[in-house]
Every structure is written in C-alpha cells, then in structure tokens.
Amino acid sequence: MKELNIAVLAGDGIGPEIMEQALKITKAVCNKFGHKLNYKEGLTGAIAIDTVGDPYPSSTHELCMNSDAVLFGAIGHPKFDNDPSAKVRPEQGLLRMRQMLGLYGNIRPVMTFPSLIHKSPLRSDIVEGADFMCIRELTGGLYFGRPQGRSEDGNTAYDTCVYTREEIERILHLAYKFAGQRNKKVTVVDKANVLATSRLWRQVAQDIAPQYPDVETEYMFVDNAAMRIIQWPKSFDVLVTENLFGDILTDEASVITGSLGLLPSASVGIHTSLFEPIHGSYPQAAGKNIANPIAMILSAALMFEYAFKMMEEGALIREAVNASLEAGIVTEDIADGGKSYSTSEVGEWIVNYIEK
C-alpha cells in the first residue's frame, strides 16, 4: 500500500464540477489498488479573491508545499476579464503559484483518439496517429521579465523577455529525458534570427545536444513550427520551447484532437508537481453539469504516472477513458448531434468501468 497526499484546487467556473469527477476516479483507482488517499482542498483564482482577497493565499501555498502532487481545475472569471482597472486578477495567482512552487516545465501530450478522428478540423490522414509532447518553459520569459509597465501618459507599454542559461538547460534536459523514453527526437523551437534570448536558447541547446547522442535534435523557428504542427503533426516527437511560444503552440496543437476538453497537462516543479486540464474555466457552462471532464480525469492519470510512478494505475484510467469514448458516453461538445451525457454521468461511467 502506498499513501498519496494531494492538494485539490478546483478553482473557478467548471473547475469544481470536473474536479469532482477526477476525485471520484482517483478514489476508485486507490481502492482498487489498495492505496491510501489523503487530500485537502484549497482556494485559488477568482473564488479566492472573493473569499480572502488573494488569488493564491498563503494557506493554499502551504497546502501545496506539504503535498506530493497538486490536482488543479481552472481559474478565471469574466468580471475580471472585462475590467482593465482590476488591481488583482485570478491569473496572477496562477503565475505566482508557478513561481513559488518552482513549476518550471509544462508537459502537454498531444494525441488523437481513434473514435474522434472525425472531430479534428484537419484531414484524418494528417492527424491519425499523431502523438507528440510539447514541453514549455514556465517560469521565465516575457511573463516574468522585468522591467514591465506603461509610460506615465499610458500610451506606451513594454515587457522584457529574460532567460538565463540555467533556466534553459533545466528545461532542455527535461525534454531530452522524455525523448529518450519516446521516439528519440527533440525539436527546439525559437526565433533565433530575431531575438537575443532565442539565440541563447539555440546556443545552450547546441551545447547540450552532444550529451544525448542517441537523440536526434532539430532546430526550428517558431513561425515554421506553427505551420508544421498543422501540415505534418506526425513529424514531431518532443517539442521544447520558451514560455510565450509554448503558450501559443500548445493551444494550436490541442486543436488537432478535436476538443480542448480532452487534453491533460503536467507542470513539473522543484517542490511538487501540478496536474491540470489545458482548457480554461469556461464560465458559460459553470453549474450546468455539461462540461467535458475527460481532460481533468486524464490529468489525474498523469498524476499517478509522473508524481507517484504508478504506471498501471494511470494506464487503467486511460483504458477507461478510451472505453467511454468508444461507447459514446460523451458530453455535448463531442456528441456529434447524438445522445450526450452530463459531466457527472461520464464520471460515473468511468468509475464503474474501473471498479469492474
């Protein structure tokens, strides 16, 4: 028997509904394999601002630091999106959490589901069999660079992109480690023909690549990578890049599967690791029991695999999810005009599959 200590941060919008399903499935897996599950819930995002005035309260940070892994739902609320004068925003909590937990590497698997190939906006011959991993540096670059601000008259704004060799080395070693376990190819994405930070990225990558002689390394400008993800997604194995490029490319890549509601992610950290779906808080669907819980459930599978090295447990969750898709037990976003099921019905079906 193993003991799992996890922090549960449901967040805003559909976060609580999808988290409920992921927790049910986590409990079912722990029961099946004889593990002891301890979890505590914490506040983050807009609900934390409304409750305590801080999107990432110290009590939540303490909870995360004392946990082996963090399951995270989503943050964001329209009332902050539509108020440019808001001093505190939910997203500030997410950035602070990444920084304080040292969550330096975001891992997003991009894969297609055989029963949903037709949902992709791309031709089936282009996407069928696509299976690659995007690794995004998460604590450097434009999002954290200083100075940052606006001129006194408000008519000029500026952000600063900053990277150190140490930050780049850390994320590249992570990429090569994953490539070594996969198809042994790393694509380093930058804009080295224009940006000084990108030239440092490329120089560091060229220094590190010889340490991994069994892994093929290719270098690609970000604009070319954006085209290749659409034209030839099967050409990638592990794609690694900086924070802003990674933010954009991972969202582009997620479209390949046909629904944002299907893809999980992991953020590897110095202190702990965090697991979350790639979609946002989808406030229009909040409280309606219609949101797709699959990405959140697959994030729990990633948690078992990466945080606890429980590969069999993660594989069972994936098997159950694939079975639910094959059986047409899906929410309205991927129902194709046929019968759709509620968030909780999908969760319950997957729990029953795991138990049986």
Residues known to be catalytic = 143, 191, 223, 247, 251
CA 189 to chain centre: 18
- Angle 28-304-54 (CA atoms, 0-180°, nearest 5)? 95
Q: Which residues contact 203 (CB under 8 A, 6 or more apart)?
A: none
Q: Are 39 and 314 in contact (CB under 8 A)?
A: no
DSSP 280-298: ---GGGTTSS-S--HHHHH
Alpha helices in the chain, H assignment, sequence order: 15-33, 46-52, 58-65, 78-81, 90-100, 124-127, 165-181, 196-208, 222-231, 243-254, 294-302, 311-326, 343-355
How many CB atoms are closer than 10 A to CB 53?
9
CA 85 to chain centre: 29
